[in-house]
């Protein structure tokens, strides 16, 4: 009797929280904006070197499910990447998604005229390992562009 009561309570909690057992949760647009805001604040308070080290930590506070921080300089060089450390230090200005879109070049161009913006392209989701549509939110900060994005299937 007691076990059935616990199951009923657990089921009610799942309904109230809007989740189901085993359901994968993905980041939202609001969470991406908040993550970039948190990253910008970290750069301003801790300095770029310490902040970038924190962003690059896959198990750190700047990685949440499929959400992570990426930072580029104004030439397209990746200076921090929360999902793929192999990209750090690389010039990605000519990087293309599977549709041939020069997404880093476009990002650099958008940052020249906008303080903050959303960008659409396709990229490998670190949790599913599949190429998926991605929306990246970015903010310009000094000589860098700080971004975090969401995936949609």
Collapse the DSSP code of 129 into the 3-class scheme (helix H, G, I; strand E, B; otherwise coil) and give the result: coil
What are the pLDDT digits (tens) for 116-145? Answer: 999 999 998 888 899 999 999 999 999 999
Q: Which residues pair with 4 in a beta bridge?
A: none
What are the pLDDT digits (tens) for 43-59? Answer: 999 999 999 999 999 99
- Our measurement of the distance from residue 17's CA atom to the centroid of its chain's CA atoms, rounded to an integer in Å, reads 24
Backbone dihedral angles phi then psi of residue 45, each to the nearest 5 degrees? -90, -40
What are the pLDDT digits (tens) for 74-106? Answer: 999 999 999 999 999 999 999 999 999 999 999
Least Cα distance to 66 among 38, 43, 35, 41 occurs for 35
Strands (E), 9-143: 63-64, 67-73, 78-81, 116-124, 131-141
Q: Is pLDDT above 70 for 20?
A: no
Q: Is residue 114 within 8 Å of residue 140, measured between CB atoms? A: yes
Q: Is pLDDT above 60 for 61?
A: yes
pLDDT score of 31 = 97
Domains annotated for the chain, with CATH where assigned, are 27-151 (3.30.450.20)
Average pLDDT, the chain: 87
pLDDT score of 152 = 84
| Residue that is written with structure tokens 């580029």 in the block | 72
Q: Is residue 140 within 8 Å of residue 115, measured between CB atoms? A: yes
pLDDT score of 94 = 97
């Amino acid at each position: 009797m007691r076990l059935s009561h616990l199951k009923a309570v657990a089921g009610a909690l799942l309904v109230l929280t809007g989740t189901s057992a085993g359901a994968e949760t993905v980041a939202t647009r609001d969470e991406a904006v908040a993550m970039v805001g948190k990253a910008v604040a970290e750069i301003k308070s801790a300095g770029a070197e310490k902040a970038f080290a924190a962003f690059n930590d896959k198990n750190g506070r700047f990685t949440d499910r499929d959400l992570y921080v990426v930072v580029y300089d104004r030439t397209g060089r990746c200076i921090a990447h929360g999902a793929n450390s192999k990209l750090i230090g690389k010039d990605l200005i000519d990087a293309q998604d599977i549709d041939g879109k020069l997404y880093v070049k476009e990002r650099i161009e958008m940052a020249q005229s906008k303080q903050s913006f959303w960008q659409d392209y396709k990229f490998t989701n670190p949790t599913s390992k599949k190429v998926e549509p991605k929306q990246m939110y970015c903010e310009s900060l000094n000589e860098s562009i700080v971004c975090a994005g969401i995936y949609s299937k």
